[in-house]
Amino acid sequence: MLRMGALLLNQMVQYSVARLDASFAALSDATRRGVLAQLGRGDASITDLAEKFHMTLTGMKKHIGVLEQAGLVATFKVGRVRTCKLGPHQLQEETAWLERHRQLWASRFDELDNVIEEMKRKEKVDGRKKRE
């Protein structure tokens, strides 16, 4: 039973890592971030998005595909028009990951500040001793 639980946990971790990878890969491109910002203002057709970003329909379809795989965009077809909207994935895991790393770096910078302050204090004391 323990082995099965460990296997399930391992699969969950792998899924979570794959999901983070897909999200960050999708967000790494300025055009895709722009598409998300645009869709935050309202749904839009792929054609409209392609025109807004001055790119080909094929290029925009590729960007939408990456965003869709990450769950950041959902598309639906009405007649011949494929419309995009923000997807169900709301970046909670990504936000938590970023926050953990922000806290880690903040802690390291705080420690570095302490080391620098200690060095300054020692330098000041050593400077006084040399003058005396």
CATH code, 34? 1.10.10.10
pLDDT at 70 > cutoff 90: yes
How far, rounded to the nearest angstrom, does the alpha carbon of residue 98 sit from its chain's CA centroid?
Answer: 8
- φ/ψ of residue 78, rounded to 5: -125, 105
Do 81 and 126 fall into the same domain? no
Do 19 and 67 fall into the same domain? yes
Do 24 and 61 fall into the same domain? yes
| Domain span holding position 99 | 91-132
pLDDT at 14 > cutoff 80: no
Average pLDDT over residues 47-73: 96
Do 43 and 95 fall into the same domain? no
Neighbours of 69 (CB within 10 A): 14
Do 62 and 123 fall into the same domain? no
Do 40 and 68 fall into the same domain? yes
Do 83 and 129 fall into the same domain? no
Please report the pLDDT score of residue 24 as a whole number.
92
Do 5 and 44 fall into the same domain? yes
Please report the pLDDT score of residue 45 as a whole number.
97
Do 53 and 35 fall into the same domain? yes
pLDDT at 74 > cutoff 90: yes
Please report the pLDDT score of residue 101 as a whole number.
84
Q: Give the total number of structural domains in the chain.
A: 2
Please report the pLDDT score of residue 128 as a whole number.
67
Sign of CA dihedral 19, 34, 60, 87: positive
Do 18 and 44 fall into the same domain? yes
Do 64 and 125 fall into the same domain? no
Do 61 and 110 fall into the same domain? no
Question: Residue 1 carries which side chain, given as an amino acid letter?
Answer: M
- 78-115 pLDDT per residue, tens: 899 999 999 988 888 888 888 988 898 988 898 998 89
**Between vectors from CA 42 to CA 40 and to CA 47, what angle results, nearest 5°?**
110
Tokens of 114: 């302490």
pTM: 0.69
Residue 71, Cβ density class (10 Å: 0-12 exposed, 13-18 middle, ≥19 buried): middle
